[in-house]
Structure 1
Amino acid sequence: MTTPTTRTPRFDRGRWAQAGPETVHPGVHRIPLPLPDDGLRAVNVYALEGLTEGLVLIDGGWSIPESRKALEDALTQLGHDLGEISHVLVTHIHRDHYTQAVELRRLLGSRVYLGAGERRGLEALGELRTDEPVGSLVNLRRAGAHDLAERVAAMYDDDFDPTVWEAPDRWLHAEELHFGDARLTVVPTPGHTQGHVVYHDRARGLLFSGDHVLPHITPSIGFELGEPSLPLGDYLESLHLMTTLADARLLPAHGPVGDSVHARAGELLAHHDDRLAETLATLGEGVRTAHEVAGELGWTRRKVPFADLGVFDQMLAVNETAAHLDVLVVRGRARRTQTDGVNWYVVPTA
């Protein structure tokens, strides 16, 4: 939602989402799959070939006909077909990453792997049987945005398909996966979701970063089922973790391939430092809710007023503001109290 300055040329911002495969390394191909009516435009899945296990995909895409056709067409251009997909390694539970992986398993017998930290969120989806962002609605009401929560809830219907939210074949922890001569290190990176993981190919100098490290935007925080105690704190720790790994090319889920994970992680950490300072300044001397603070902050690199955002983006903005305020509380820069289920924030007096 919030976006730091980037060095990526503007002409790359749309070109990366155009259909068709891009070879980013021998045997590694980026395949953008469409996300209709979504500002992200596309999600990258990566096809790894030349392995004894057949084709391995990193992320699966959204389970819609347009996505499946785009994947099939791209694999045909590469001289492959859907039937060669043996494994889909998913970075996190969101629909544009997970649901088509489950569909491919049902159609082809492919095996689906997912980070163990996503287990509770997946179970909650099965219990609630709704795609409605229940956790985010709870957060909105806690942030004092009751009217906004009602408008968000009205955007969702009851057309829930439980088959695309089935459990994976294997829950992943911090471990190394072997596919022939290829070695992929699973690195848990909680923040965007509790169970987000990235896949580090140290030998080839590649990091499949999912939504954890993105080249143009910062991932949303606090948009999931369940209630992590400090999602932004988790995310910042996971960003710092990236700088301790051997640097690698950035292969993100949204946007073009980047040259350095370390460089982009550094930009994102600096951005959140700036955003924390801006949030603290906006909080000022009064006692305020996250909704009130979000209403006075600018959004995206263009500093769009909160009132000019769509309903869904307003939800993300309020949740992100609450996440920043909660980090300020942990750091002793703000204090939080609760009245009638609503959190109120204030700068402590000396």
Structure 2
Amino acid sequence: MTTTTDWTEIGCHPVAERIHRIPLPMPGDGLRAINVYVVEGPDGVSLVDAGWNVPGNLEILRAGLRSIDVGLSEITDVHVTHIHRDHYTMGPELRRVVGARIHLGVGESPGLAALRDLANTVPADSLLQLRRAGAPGIASAAREQALTETWLERDWELPDEWTDEGPVVIGGRPMTATVTAGHTKGHLVFDDPGSGVTFTGDHVLPRISPSIGFELGGWDNPLGAYLSSLEAMLDRPDSLMLPAHGAVGGSVHARVRELLAHHDARLDATRRAVASSPGATGLQVAQALPWTRRERAFTSLDDFNQMIAVCETMAHLDVLLERGEVIADSSEPVGGGVADEGIERYVVA
């Protein structure tokens, strides 16, 4: 088990029997790095998550593998937890370079299809939620920022195989793939009972709660799905957590309980914000809440994180709506303006 104080330290770190972790940098991203896991077994070498295809990462991966006497060409398969760029886009590159096969959860198919159809990184479904929340300015800023980002069709080629929930073989080792919807619809975690570990992707992270619903393919109560997926993990045997971001280790069950408690507290804070300002829009509720572990003011967040914050708020409001704890009204435009049509305003039930 690796004991480095900085989990992003470049290298190839052992985490379990014949399982190593190679952090690959995420330039300009607050998460800093993604853990790519190298799984050696009787059928060769597989990766869990591929990393972000940015300059230098392929060489970092190659050097990490070399340190354990594994060649890049020995990678036969890449099992991706979900369809975000830091997890997926190195997969097609590895297929081009060494012929590795890409495996992706079947529930990610609509999101990948929508992404390929758009041919850009504009978060179209998130923009719809921003407009529903009464935040067209944030939506416009997010769209303009996304349009400045480089789009490479080759980064989003289709996988070789769509993975269903159930038994899966990774590196020749029998594991179980479980759909854990919420962060994305088709997010998968992989249980390796032989090693007593679970590759938790972004579903269970050690220090933060993952963003909810930041994907294409439609919006369907993503936080409700996330909470249900967390609760279902408590019905399975506990294991050691191998997350996509952050240090490895710790009980999956213990962290799941912390995440459930966090969202209970967040739902309560959201309901109280509505109660204190009847008729508030989603944006106004988000502005009333603290953000990040440092409890920062909404106005201190950059455009991207304001978008994430408003979408998170809408996800929490949708759970409260489903539970009957708040009521939404979008029948009358605020101030009678056409631009306000479809904006929801909330009151406590």
Task: State the TM-score, normalizing by the size of structure 2.
Answer: 0.94
Single out whichever of 312-321 and 285-294 deviates more from structure 2: 285-294
Deviation readout 1:147-176 (Å, 9 max, x if unpaired): 011111121226321111111111111121
1:125 Cα offset (Å):
1.0
Equivalent residues, number: 336
2:313 counterpart residue number: 321
For residues 284 and 56 of structure 2, the distance between their equivalents in structure 1, rounded to whole angstroms, comes to: 40
Aligned to 2:292, which of 281, 295, 300? 300
User: Structure 2: which 5+ residue stretches go unaligned?
Assistant: 334-340
Deviation readout 1:78-115 (Å, 9 max, x if unpaired): 11121010000000000000000111012111010000
Deviation readout 1:188-207 (Å, 9 max, x if unpaired): 00000011000011121110
Question: Aligned letter for 2:165?
Answer: A
2:192 counterpart residue number: 201
Alignment of 1:55-74 (within 5 A): 55-74=45-64
RMSD (Å), alpha carbons = 1.4
For residues 102 and 244 of structure 1, the distance between their equivalents in structure 2, rounded to whole angstroms, comes to: 35
Aligned to 1:330, which of 322, 329, 340? 322
1:38 counterpart residue number: 29
Residues 1:346 and 2:347 aligned together? yes
1:17 counterpart residue number: 8
Residues 1:143 and 2:136 aligned together? no
Task: State the TM-score, normalizing by the size of structure 1.
Answer: 0.93
For residues 231 and 252 of structure 1, the distance between their equivalents in structure 2, rounded to whole angstroms, comes to: 20
Alignment of 1:160-171 (within 5 A): 160-171=151-162
Residues 1:115 and 2:105 aligned together? yes
For residues 344 and 286 of structure 1, the distance between their equivalents in structure 2, rounded to whole angstroms, comes to: 8
* Residues 342, 180 of structure 1: alpha-carbon distance in 2 compared, 3 angstrom cutoff: closer
User: Structure 1: which 5+ residue stretches go unaligned?
Assistant: 1-10
Aligned to 2:236, which of 245, 263, 274? 245
Aligned to 2:278, which of 280, 283, 286? 286
2:165 counterpart residue number: 174
1:66 Cα offset (Å):
2.1
Question: Aligned letter for 1:32?
Answer: P
For residues 88 and 19 of structure 1, the distance between their equivalents in structure 2, rounded to whole angstroms, comes to: 20
Question: Aligned letter for 1:225?
Answer: L
Task: Specify the SS of the correspondent of 1:295.
Answer: helix
1:92 counterpart residue number: 82
8 Å Cα contact 2:92/2:157 also seen in 1: yes
For residues 237 and 132 of structure 1, the distance between their equivalents in structure 2, rounded to whole angstroms, comes to: 28
8 Å Cα contact 1:92/1:98 also seen in 2: yes
Aligned to 2:121, which of 115, 121, 131? 131
1:180 Cα offset (Å):
6.6
Question: Aligned letter for 1:148?
Answer: I
Aligned to 1:232, which of 199, 223, 241? 223
Task: Specify the SS of the correspondent of 1:319.
Answer: helix
1:186 Cα offset (Å):
0.5
8 Å Cα contact 2:39/2:170 also seen in 1: no
8 Å Cα contact 1:190/1:196 also seen in 2: yes
Task: Specify the SS of the correspondent of 1:65.
Answer: coil
For residues 158 and 41 of structure 1, the distance between their equivalents in structure 2, rounded to whole angstroms, comes to: 18
For residues 20 and 138 of structure 1, the distance between their equivalents in structure 2, rounded to whole angstroms, comes to: 41
Moved over 6 A (4+): none
Percent same amino acid at aligned positions?
A: 47
8 Å Cα contact 1:202/1:246 also seen in 2: no
Residues 1:184 and 2:181 aligned together? no
Residues 1:263 and 2:264 aligned together? no
For residues 238 and 32 of structure 1, the distance between their equivalents in structure 2, rounded to whole angstroms, comes to: 26
* Residues 280, 180 of structure 1: alpha-carbon distance in 2 compared, 3 angstrom cutoff: closer
8 Å Cα contact 1:52/1:179 also seen in 2: no
* Residues 216, 180 of structure 1: alpha-carbon distance in 2 compared, 3 angstrom cutoff: closer
For residues 171 and 30 of structure 2, the distance between their equivalents in structure 1, rounded to whole angstroms, comes to: 37
Task: Specify the SS of the correspondent of 1:103.
Answer: helix
Single out whichever of 88-97 and 236-245 deviates more from structure 2: 236-245
For residues 228 and 298 of structure 1, the distance between their equivalents in structure 2, rounded to whole angstroms, comes to: 24
1:41 Cα offset (Å):
0.3
For residues 35 and 241 of structure 1, the distance between their equivalents in structure 2, rounded to whole angstroms, comes to: 31
Aligned to 1:155, which of 145, 148, 155? 145
1:337 Cα offset (Å):
2.1
* Residues 151, 179 of structure 1: alpha-carbon distance in 2 compared, 3 angstrom cutoff: closer
Task: Specify the SS of the correspondent of 1:275.
Answer: helix
Q: Which structure exhibits the higher relative contact order, with contacts defined as CA atoms closer than 8 Å and separated by 6 or more residues?
A: 1
8 Å Cα contact 1:194/1:228 also seen in 2: no
